[in-house]
Chains A and B, each alone.
Chain A
Amino acid sequence: MDPDQTLVTQAAAGSREAFDDLVRRYRRRVYNLVRALTGGDSEAEDLVQDTFVRAYRAIGGFRGDSAFRSWLYRIAVNVVHTHVARRRVRDAAFVATIRDSELVDEVPDGDDMEEAFLRRQAIDLALATLPEELRVLIVLRDVNGLKYEEIVKIVKTPRGTVESRLFRARQRLRPMLETLISVKPSLERVAKSVTEPCEASPHGEDS
């Protein structure tokens, strides 16, 4: 059962207090979702407000076909999509700047606020380089930890497509996040330990 069901029912019946409770429950999550989706766009707050205003206007007609969170995230994804479409040209220039940026290589180790800020910024900037159809999926799945069933409902894309796009998104992100990958040494160890590498015939068949 949807954990928000009671509040959603009350809000749909006109309770502003119930809607405010839903806002309190989700505003930070939606803000982080939008920030990740937009690569840390400074207009994220406006987009979050647009998301909740749309939800406010439509909650009366929410039929509960999906969980409230899926419904709200879908609104947020649509708001971001519209925003990105409007600013596509500026976005392209923005992404080009990120690709040339040294920021990702400057993330220090540590556990303080600054490290958290830089780590988040590095991730957001790397995410911003992805095409929108990959970025939305990877943010929903890997950053927000949504289940496949929920993602399929939000993006209205077949599960197989979601899977293959996620795979490609991770492939593309890896070189950009290389310095954040702390397990890199273990990968080297793995490389040394493998006795039968198959780079010579990458599509060969095992027995």
Chain B
Amino acid sequence: MTCDQSIHLIASAIDGRVAPIELETLMAHLGRCLTCRLEAEGQITVKRLLASRPEEPLPDGMALRLATRLDAEGPLAVPRGIDWRNWTVRLLPAAAGLLLVAGVAHVLLRHSSSIDQSADGPADLPAAVAAWGRGEMRALQEPVAVNLSDRALLWASLMQATPKWDGTGKDETKEEFR
């Protein structure tokens, strides 16, 4: 056993937490090594000394002052039946999931409604945009059937409106709008 190993074991042995075989090895080492033996004795004596610290009586009137201070706190808070803050945190993921499902369901319903209406002759996109331009706000609130060519037009106009990055960080679109 090395002194390093011995020191490590002393720390455990002081509290009686080493196996008998380890204790035997440690004692054999302590029998030969003055440094470790003095270390062990020092640890034990300090521990005993601290345990003998005389207990101190409470200062006069402290019990009364403590009671008065607790009185000032009012009655003890009784735990509520349901800890809403705790439950809110716990239910947050479930609520988010429900919201997501509701959103998807809503979109699907709208989509199926749009398909149904398209069979009866839905409003086309250019006509709806034109109506929007005339201030007929409700025109765009109605389901609009968008055909492939309309989508292509929309995509092209979006691409035109998107500023192209030229490496300078300058926003070309903003320049145009000045």
Do A and B interact? yes
Binding site for B on A (CB under 8 A): 11-16, 19-20, 23-24, 27-28, 31-32, 35-36, 45, 48-49, 52-53, 56-57, 59-61, 116-117, 119-120, 123-124, 138, 142-143, 145, 148, 163-164, 166-167, 170-171, 173-174, 177, 180-181, 183, 186-187, 190-191, 194-199, 202-206
> B100 within 8 Å of A by Cβ?
no
> B75 within 8 Å of A by Cβ?
yes
Interface centre among B15, B35, B49 (most CB of A within 10 A): B49
Does the CB pair B53–A183 fall under 8 Å? Answer: no
Task: Count CB-based A-B contacts (< 8 Å).
Answer: 153
Does the CB pair A167–B76 fall under 8 Å? Answer: no
Which residues of B have CB within 8 Å of A166? 11
Using CB atoms, name the residue of chain B closest to A205: B2
Does the CB pair B46–A15 fall under 8 Å? Answer: no
Which residues of A have CB within 8 Å of B173? none
* Bound Cα distance from A197 to B34, whole angstroms: 5
Does the CB pair B56–A35 fall under 8 Å? Answer: yes
Q: Given that A123-B53, A142-B46 are contacting pairs, would A45 and B59 also be in contact in the complex, using a CB cutoff of 8 Å?
A: yes
Does the CB pair A167–B43 fall under 8 Å? Answer: yes
Which residues of A have CB within 8 Å of B10? 167
> B166 within 8 Å of A by Cβ?
no
Using CB atoms, name the residue of chain A closest to B69: A49
> B169 within 8 Å of A by Cβ?
no
Which residues of B have CB within 8 Å of A187? 38, 41-42, 45
* Bound Cα distance from A164 to B51, whole angstroms: 19
Does the CB pair A196–B32 fall under 8 Å? Answer: yes
Size range of the interface on B? Answer: 35 or more
Residue from A14, A24, A204 within 8 A of B76 (CB atoms): A14
Q: Given that A27-B63, A196-B32, A202-B3 are contacting pairs, would A177 and B55 also be in contact in the complex, using a CB cutoff of 8 Å?
A: no
Main secondary structure of the interface of B (DSSP, over half): helix
Q: Given that A27-B63, A170-B43, A202-B35 are contacting pairs, would A16 and B53 also be in contact in the complex, using a CB cutoff of 8 Å?
A: no
Does the CB pair A198–B33 fall under 8 Å? Answer: yes
B134 to chain A, nearest CB (A): 63
Residue from A32, A143, A199 within 8 A of B51 (CB atoms): A143
* Bound Cα distance from A14 to B56, whole angstroms: 31
- Chain B 137-178 near chain A by CB (<8 Å), digits 1 or 0: 000000000000000000000000000000000000000000
Does the CB pair B54–A119 fall under 8 Å? Answer: yes
Does the CB pair B37–A12 fall under 8 Å? Answer: no
Which residues of B have CB within 8 Å of A195? 32
Does the CB pair A27–B58 fall under 8 Å? Answer: yes
Q: Given that A52-B70, A167-B7, A203-B3 are contacting pairs, would A32 and B35 also be in contact in the complex, using a CB cutoff of 8 Å?
A: no
Instruction: Pick 22 A–B contacts, CB within 8 A, sort by A.
Output: A19-B70, A27-B66, A28-B58, A32-B56, A45-B59, A60-B77, A119-B52, A142-B47, A145-B51, A148-B15, A163-B11, A167-B43, A181-B49, A187-B38, A191-B38, A194-B31, A194-B37, A196-B33, A198-B33, A198-B36, A203-B2, A206-B32
Does the CB pair A45–B65 fall under 8 Å? Answer: yes
Does the CB pair B50–A142 fall under 8 Å? Answer: yes
Which residues of A have CB within 8 Å of B77? 14, 57, 60
